[in-house]
Every structure is written in structure tokens, then in C-alpha cells.
Amino acid sequence: MTQPFISVVTGGSSGIGAACVRHLAKRGDTVILLDLPGTWDDEKLRKLGAQAGYACDVTDEKAVREVAAMIEKKHGPVSGLVNSAGILQHKLPPDQLTMKEWDRVVEVDQRGTYLACAVFGSRMAELGSGAIVNIASVTGWRSVPLHAYAPAKAAVISMTACLAAEWGRSGVRVNAISPGYTLTEALQAAIDRGDRQPEELTIQAAMGRMVTPDEIADSAGFLLSKAASAITGINLPVDAGWLAGANWITYGGMPASRAVNSGGAR
């Protein structure tokens, strides 16, 4: 009997994490959702296609180790891990960004990602196979006024390369995805409140639009699959060309579409 491909998704109850759960379940993985208590119920698990969901704070080492052991005992060895658990921060200058908020962002986005990698990845290395995808951010590549979030995501990019080298000869691949501005429920809510302006989020994107959570999930699924068997240690931007278009504003901005009757390139 073929061993099922068991994938764990942290932060799997919403946003990019939920899209990854749906994608992996649809392709046939046995998907285990991890998130904070109260962020999902049985109906949500059913809709997402997850086999099971477990409450887990990724910053809690004891909790992560216990849930990893329980998953292996109840479901089998974990083959894939998507680290999507993360929090945002308020856009504040350093004199207004409290260390309490700074610590919390770094604790979840950097420490939480590393801890999940260390626990699940070390076991994968012992077993001789596995793949990990860490959700980073394009803000980890550029200067932005997010003095906790962007450095934490830059650390995720760095640790991805470090762990790829650490476990490469043990059969474990580790890659990162850097999403651009992704139209999650949280971002849509911020737009609806007037906290963010869509034109500010798309003006420098080469494709003139935001990214969807499903597009991030598609890329995560690829990096976990055998189709990416020789790919490790990379940081893949999935950003609708946000990085590519960053400097065009100094030359008048992006050229308009040349396509006849085009509603915009996809």
C-alpha cells in the first residue's frame, strides 16, 4: 500500500494558509491544518478538505513538538510542510512601534517559522525525505516602513537557504515563497476600512494587479511536488511583478497595455 503524502499547513485556517490547504487536499494530499484555537471548526475543515485540524501556537516549542509527535502517531510521517502562520504589523515609525509589538511580530513570523522547520524538518531528515515551503514576503527584499515585519521576513528567507543546505543530503528540500500584496480576507478588510488603497498596492506591479491566495498555493504545491525535485534553497517571488516594477516609477511608471480590447494581462 502506498504511503499517503501527508502535508501540514500552519496558519491553515485563513488567507494563504487556507488556500494551501485547499490546493493540497484537492491534489490528493492528506492535509493537517494547524492554527490557533477557535480559528476553525469541523465545517471549515470539511470545506477546506483538511483531514484534521489541531490547535497549535507555533511560538510554543512544547506545543509544536507535541503536535508533531501526535500527527505522526495518528496519521503517519509528515512529507510536506507549509509555514504560513504569521502576523502583520501596524505601519509605525520606530519611536511609535512598541517593543511589545516588535517582539510579537518577530516571535510569530521568524521564531514560529524556524521552530516548525526545526521540529518537522529534523524528523524528515531522520526519515530521509520531505519538503518545506516557508511563506516569506517581498518586503523581505526591499526597504519598507515595516520595521518588525520586513526584517522578520528577511530572516525567513535567510533561514530557508541555511536549512536547505543543512538537510539537502538528508533528502529534505526547503524553499520560500515571497508573496506580493495578496488579496486575503485581512487585506480586503483593510481596504474596506479605508486603511489601504488598492492603487497604492498595484501601482508598481508590472502586471498592474494584486496576487490571489490561490496563486500562492499553486506555487507552494509545485515546490512540494516531485516536479520540483531538484529545487531547494530558493526564494520564489509570486508578486505580479512588484519587484520587477519597483524602479519604473522614477521613469513615469509602467507602460499601459498594448493589447487590443485588453482588460489587463493575466
In contact, 113 and 137? CB cutoff 8 Å: no
Count CA atoms within 13 Å of residue 72 on its CB side.
16
Residue 239's Cβ-count burial label (10 Å; 0-12, 13-18, 19+) is: buried
The one catalytic residue in 54, 114, 149, 181 is 149
In contact, 208 and 255? CB cutoff 8 Å: no
Residues contacting residue 170 through CB under 8 Å, at least 6 positions apart: 124, 125, 126, 128
Residues contacting residue 131 through CB under 8 Å, at least 6 positions apart: 79, 80, 81, 172, 173, 174, 175, 223, 224, 228
Q: Is there a catalytic annotation at residue 181?
A: no
Chain length of the chain: 266
DSSP annotation string for 126-178: HHT-EEEEEE--GGGTS--S-TTHHHHHHHHHHHHHHHHHHHGGGTEEEEEEE
- Which whole-number Å values give the CA distances from 185 to 12, 192, 237, in the listed order? 13, 10, 21
Cell numbers describing residue 154? 528577511
In contact, 48 and 12? CB cutoff 8 Å: yes
Residues labelled catalytic: 149
